[in-house]
Structure 1
Amino acid sequence: MNPATRFPRRTFIAFATLALTALSAQAQASIQAVASFSILGDLVRQVGGDRVQVNVLVGPGSDAHVFQPTPAQARLVGQAQVVFSNGLGFEGWMSRLLKTAGYKGQQVVVSQGIQPIQEAGHKGHKHGGHDHGETDPHAWQSVGNAKVFVKNIAQGLCRADAAGCEVYERNAKAYVAKLEALDSEIRAAWAPIPAAQRKVITSHDAFGYYARDFSVKFLAPQGVSTESEASPKGVARLVRQIKQEQIKALFVESISDPRLIAQIGRETGVKPSGELFSDSLSAADGAAPTYIDMMRFNTRVLTTAVRGE
């Protein structure tokens, strides 16, 4: 039978119109969200799903510590219904950006409710308007903190889009289950390694929460901001410590200038073990395109390096 005789033109047009109307309604229902940096952007996408369009200000491979918003990004923020930031002093440029954009929508600081680590020995870093004080802002390096982020993201999306709240809460619950499995996976990876052997050198002090959760000692020539400068005296002290404690794991971060780590490697005779992702995800085709990928990748290369493999 000819398909045209089974579906008259008038009926086909009616179905097509209904489909287009549904698609249009779905597009209109899409929430416009802005996330400050790539790691947070992934978490918002996990909770928001297809219902939320997420725009990221500081994309993969870029450094939020030294970010300078453009007029186009200010316009993007001005059009958003909800803006997500890390807080804890990480985005020192955010308040100026919101003011420039004339932003009146929902603001969500995802670290709300987290007990921050206070950085002893890094007294009040303030560089170019990026004031970290003594607080370590890299809270996402704890999987437990990421679960708090997800809860705050879901609540923020529910406030911005009450009709989609059930979807956001369901997505958040499913993703938290994945994070709990990830946390167990990381603990299992470190379990066979003696505590005395768990020592790592990185570019800047970005892994304090990971160190606390998984009992790993991280040392860095720079403080919690990549804008802080490593002093010659501090680098010399670090070189002596690496030699004395026979530390084998030496890493540069994806957002950092590799020259300082290369210098430390030359002076200690320790070959750099590769790259870690601290403040940024990789591109989609890289090693760490999502938060879970990032934590798995970092754990794999860290445990391999401290074992001396």
Structure 2
Amino acid sequence: MRYANLIARLLASAALGAAASAASARTLDVVASFTVLADVVQQVGGDHVRVKSLVPANGDPHEFEPSPNDAKAIKSADVTFVSGEGLESWFQRLAKAAGYNGKPVVASNGVKTQKMEEDGKTVTDPHVWNTPLNVIVWTGNIEKALAAADPQDAADFKANAAKYVQELQDLNAYAHAKFDATPKDLRKVLTSHDAFGYFGKEYGVTFLSPLGLSTETEASAAGVAKLIDQIRREKVKIYFIENSNDPRLVKQIAEATGAEPGGVLYVESLSPPDGPAPTYARMLRNSVDKIADAIAKQSSAAAESR
């Protein structure tokens, strides 16, 4: 009987221990500013995070207008993430209105940023994620922030981050293999706005566009005329529209220059789950494939015209 009682007590103790362990395990409520960042947080957090993106799929992070539900999400979040570098100018206003007392984790801390001249001012290009090497920096910052918020699952965050970094390194190698064999003077395409600066620097591609770093800027008639002359002079034959902003201006320029459509690029926003760019990795691969195909087409046309 004594043995039976002992076994019963041990089983009860084990059950209490299991219950305590289950109770201590948690799922972090995380808010990220836009879909690209939200996906990377999800890749690192795995099953331990519940991630909400404030800017929805196909949304423009420059011109986002938050809702009361977004304020509620921030107020109740365990961790919030922004990319930084001036991209989410609306985030601090939203956080203040929501009564959120925490500080967002700036995922781009540590990225070597690029400067550009725009309207006579030197500004930082915020589109850092358009090379996987910068997203590796994001990944490290995200891992640290999640581990600080949930130390119990730090080992899982570390393993997830290591696996994802390898995927990003492979993606960078894939992109270089696509572009490096083509002469740099033929790596030119027309897009809606200056969102591909980091991509262009890493892979030697020149992007011509009528708008600056933000879709909130306006193109001048003189600037558009100058761009049309450049496109004709440099024989840029392919243009792309972007999923998250108005395509009308770039289409008008294409009509004036004879450039042909190359498809849709996902540069600041993921597609819905059933689209071609539901994750960051698929988004970047989609851009690489489409741009590389356009450059190959231009190269063939140039060779035939000689």
Q: Same fold (TM over 0.5)?
A: yes
Matched residue of 2:116: which SS? coil
Please point out which of 203, 223, 242 is paired with 1:234.
Answer: 223
User: For residues 58 and 201 of structure 1, what CA distance do their matches in structure 2 show?
Assistant: 26
Matched residue of 1:120: which SS? strand
Q: Structure 2 residue aligned with 1:95, among 92, 95, 104?
A: 92
2:70 corresponds, among 70, 73, 98, to 73
| 190 and 26 in structure 1: CA distance in 2 versus 1, 3 angstrom threshold | farther
**Distance of 1:23 and 1:237 partners within structure 2:** 68
Determine the C-alpha separation between the residues in 1 that align with 2:120 and 2:29.
Answer: 38
Q: Does 1:243 align with 2:240?
A: no
Note the C-alpha offset of 1:23. 11
In the TM superposition, residue 22 of structure 1 has moved relative to its aligned partner by 6.0
Mapped to 1, the partners of 2:222 and 2:180 lie a distance apart of 35
Q: How many residues align?
A: 286
Deviation, 1:73, is 0.7
| Whole-angstrom CA distance in 2 between matches of 1:287 and 1:197 | 26
Matched residue type, 1:248? K
In the alignment, structure 2 segments of 5+ residues that lack a partner are 1-10, 299-306
CA RMSD of aligned residues (A): 2.2
One-letter amino acid matched to 1:255: S
Q: 1:49 to 1:121 in 2, by over 3 A?
A: same
Does structure 2 retain, via aligned residues, the 8 Å contact 1:248–1:306?
no
1:94-113 counterparts in 2 under 5 A? 94-105=91-102, 107-113=104-110
Matched, 1:117 2:106: no
Corresponding residue number in structure 2 for 1:55:
52
The alpha carbon displacement at 1:122 in A equals 4.2
Residue 34 of structure 1 aligns to a residue whose secondary structure is strand
Verify: 1:296 aligned to 2:293, yes or no.
no
Question: Given the alignment of the two structures, is residue 224 of structure 1 paired with residue 213 of structure 2, yes or no?
Answer: yes
Q: Give the TM-score taking structure 2 as reference length.
A: 0.89
Equivalent residue, structure 1, for 2:197 = 208
Structure 2 SS opposite 1:302: helix
Tell me, yes or no, if the aligned pair for 1:49 and 1:171 is still in contact at 8 Å: yes
Name the CA distance, whole Å, in 1 between partners of 2:59 and 2:258. Answer: 30
Q: Report the equivalent of 1:257.
A: 246
Cα separation, partners in 2 of 1:26 and 1:230, compared to 1, 3 Å: farther
User: What do the CA deviations read for 1:145-204 (whole angstroms, capped 9, x no partner)?
Assistant: 000000000011111111111111111011001100110000001122111100011101
1:123: Cα distance to partner? 3.8
Deviation at 1:26, TM superposition (A): 6.7
Percent identity, please: 42
Equivalences for residues 181-192 of structure 1 within 5 A:
181-192=170-181
CA spacing shift, 1:166–1:258, aligned 2, 3 Å: same
Is contact 1:158–1:164 with CA below 8 Å preserved after alignment?
yes
Which residue of 167, 170, 175 corresponds with 2:159?
Answer: 170
Which runs of 5 or more structure 1 residues have no equivalent in the other structure? 1-13, 125-132
Query: What CA distance in whole angstroms lies between the structure 2 residues aligned with 1:275 and 1:22?
Result: 50
Q: TM-score, length-normalised on structure 1?
A: 0.88
